[in-house]
Structure 1
Amino acid sequence: MEKKVYGADEIKQILGIGRSKTYMFLDEVYRKKSPFRVIKIGKIYRVPKESFDKWLDGEAEE
């Protein structure tokens, strides 16, 4: 079964940024609900792959 979400560590590696910057960025995206979806469960962030990959590829989210 293919994973449908990225964790914070995966986002950190993909973007090539530090841990604290990753969490600050994910929290900001979670609050704005843009430019991609972020799901927050307690202190854990999960990012749906499809939404993030579209943003990374430059495709606008509706």
Structure 2
Amino acid sequence: MNDKKVYDVEDIQKLLGIGRSKAYAFLDEAYQKQEPFRVIKIGKLFRVPKQSFDNWLDKID
């Protein structure tokens, strides 16, 4: 995953240890608010810029 510039839903699921429906709901909410990280929606596909997500995740620790 280190060479990717964006994460997809499956990546987010693995990183957060959540299920598919929970990941989609979380990303949809983040997309609407553009918080706590940026989310790009292309049709029905969600893409999350790696840097934005990683920065958010690092702040949680």
Same fold? TM cut 0.5: yes
Q: Give the match for residue 35 of structure 2.
A: 34
Write the mapping of 1:21-60 to structure 2, written as runs, cut at 5 A: 21-58=22-59
TM superposition shift of 1:3: 1.7
Please give the secondary structure, in 2, of the residue aligned with 1:46. strand
Please give the secondary structure, in 1, of the residue aligned with 2:59. coil
Indicate the percent of aligned positions where both proteins have the same amino acid.
66
Please identify runs of 4+ aligned residues in structure 1 that moved more than 6 A: none
How many residues are aligned here? 58
Q: Give the match for residue 14 of structure 2.
A: 13
| The structure with more helix, counted as a fraction of residues | 2
| CA RMSD, 1 decimal | 1.1
